[in-house]
Amino acid sequence: MSATYPIDHTHDPAATSWVSSANQPGSPFPLQNLPFGRFRLAGSGGECHNGEWRNGDWHIGVAIGDQVLCLRTAGLVDHADMHRLMAQAPTARQALRHALFDGLKAGSAKQAAWAAALVPQADVEMGLPCPVGDYTDFYTSIHHATTVGRQFRPEQPLLPNYVWVPIGYHGRASSVIPSGMPVRRPKGQTRPAAGSEQPNFGPSRRLDHELELALFIGQGNALGEPIGIDQAEAHLFGVALFNDWSARDIQGWEYQPLGPFLAKNFASSVAPWMVTMEALAPFRQPFVRDAALPAPLPYLSSPDTLAHGVINIELEVWLQTAQMREAGHPGDRISQSNYADAFWTAAQLVTHHTVNGCNLQPGDLLGTGTLSGPMPEQAASMLELSNGGQAPITLSTGEQRSFLEDGDSVILKGWCNRAGAARIGLGECRATVLPARA
């Protein structure tokens, strides 16, 4: 919990819903979760455009068990504009959460009316949770930064600015795509072979996933008006699973001096459901920085924010090869980590991003960066798992992987789990690698 997002009756672990599937142990979407997403009836389709479909209307929905509650049909909103919903102040969002919780709770008088607002998740297509205006990617795992830095710069794995600056850079918004959409292997230039001056060109041979979380901005700020650290939490709407696909060989050749570009902007997959800051309240814990490190600068420091700065979210990466898929095998879990190991809090990212006056807008996506933990099995990319391709991992089928191969599916999963709280899930972010275009 934090001052901005208190724990209240909507977090009561004993509460149950009249939507019976929400009460099944193991459901990611019990009554205490209530994540937001955008859905439409499957097959009402159209042309993809920035993860939107030009035809076919998107509706705002909330996941409950194996169903979606349509907010407009339920009379809770009179529009389908997710940005408008997200831009509300936390108090208004809490009121909406309370209305949802009370209406979906077992015994609610709303049951008769709202039953008509439910659609089975199996019958809908999910879009991006919201249109993304700007996408910024951070680098908040010191473990990822150190391991990757060691591969790129053995003499200085962690640069001196890392413990002071929440390092971030701008990503591509147009290629943020919904979970389920396949990802085509990119082509590009890669470093020349030894003795040659001319770079190679062709399909990436070091295609990788990055397990991240997408932090979605709710209320924005005006250009020129920084968001102070004590106000930062109020500008966050929620969190979704996020896979920032990367082509390591393209990255290694292009990234100096201005950072990654084509190595990243061919696709970034986001899960359909935004779990709100309100729902995450029971999973907050103090942020404690290693005492051997200097304290952050004052603009990034706040006792209140640090007291609840960490969000404990268990994360997993699963890899399902084509061979596994054909055999009905769900895939292997290839890493496990936790957002609690991030070096910078979500509030610090918001405040740092705006300290120069940069304006954030509703629906902007802040990627956490690859969320690797301190242990080798917590490595959240193939680059780390295979030590830069030098030590392939062996899967349960006997197949080996240094990087991703055509036909591989990567599935991200996430859960919040704490004694005394209802377990809530983030759902899945899933995509399959297609071969490069001929």
Verify binding: residue 195, a second copy, rule CB under 8 A. no
Verify binding: residue 165, a second copy, rule CB under 8 A. yes
Let me know: does 199 contact 192? Beta carbons within 8 Å. Answer: yes
Considering only CA atoms, which of 253, 216, 219 is closest in space to residue 234? 219
* Nearer to a second copy (CB atom), residue 51 or residue 103: 51
* Nearer to a second copy (CB atom), residue 257 or residue 398: 257
Considering only CA atoms, which of 326, 310, 344 is closest in space to residue 418? 310
Judge whether 11 counts as a catalytic residue.
Answer: no
- Determine which one of 11, 144, 308, 353 is catalytic: 144
- Asked if residue 257 has a cis previous peptide bond (ω within 30° of 0), the answer is yes
The span from the CA of 39 to the CA of 366, in Å, is: 22
Considering only CA atoms, which of 21, 17, 26 is closest in space to residue 114? 17
The span from the CA of 351 to the CA of 158, in Å, is: 23
Verify binding: residue 20, a second copy, rule CB under 8 A. no
User: Taking CB under 8 A as the criterion, which residues in 357-376 touch a second copy?
Assistant: 357-361, 364
Let me know: does 230 contact 302? Beta carbons within 8 Å. Answer: yes
The span from the CA of 174 to the CA of 268, in Å, is: 9
Stretch that binds a second copy, among 68-76, 216-224, 232-240, 340-348 (CB under 8 A): 216-224
The pattern of x and - marking residues 135 through 154 that bind a second copy according to CB under 8 A reads: -xx-x---------x--xx-
Select the residue interacting with a second copy from 216, 266, 283, 339 (CB under 8 A): 266
Select the residue interacting with a second copy from 213, 215, 239, 247 (CB under 8 A): 247
Q: Which pair of tokens denotes residue 412? A: 């991200």
The span from the CA of 276 to the CA of 271, in Å, is: 14
Stretch that binds a second copy, among 10-18, 27-35, 131-139, 311-319 (CB under 8 A): 131-139
Verify binding: residue 197, a second copy, rule CB under 8 A. yes
* Nearer to a second copy (CB atom), residue 118 or residue 365: 365
The span from the CA of 246 to the CA of 179, in Å, is: 16
The span from the CA of 24 to the CA of 16, in Å, is: 10
**Residues at the interface with a second copy (CB under 8 A):** 48-50, 133-134, 136-137, 139, 149, 152-153, 159-161, 164-165, 167-175, 177, 184, 186-189, 197-199, 201, 222-226, 247, 250, 253-262, 265-267, 294, 297-299, 352-353, 355-361, 364, 437
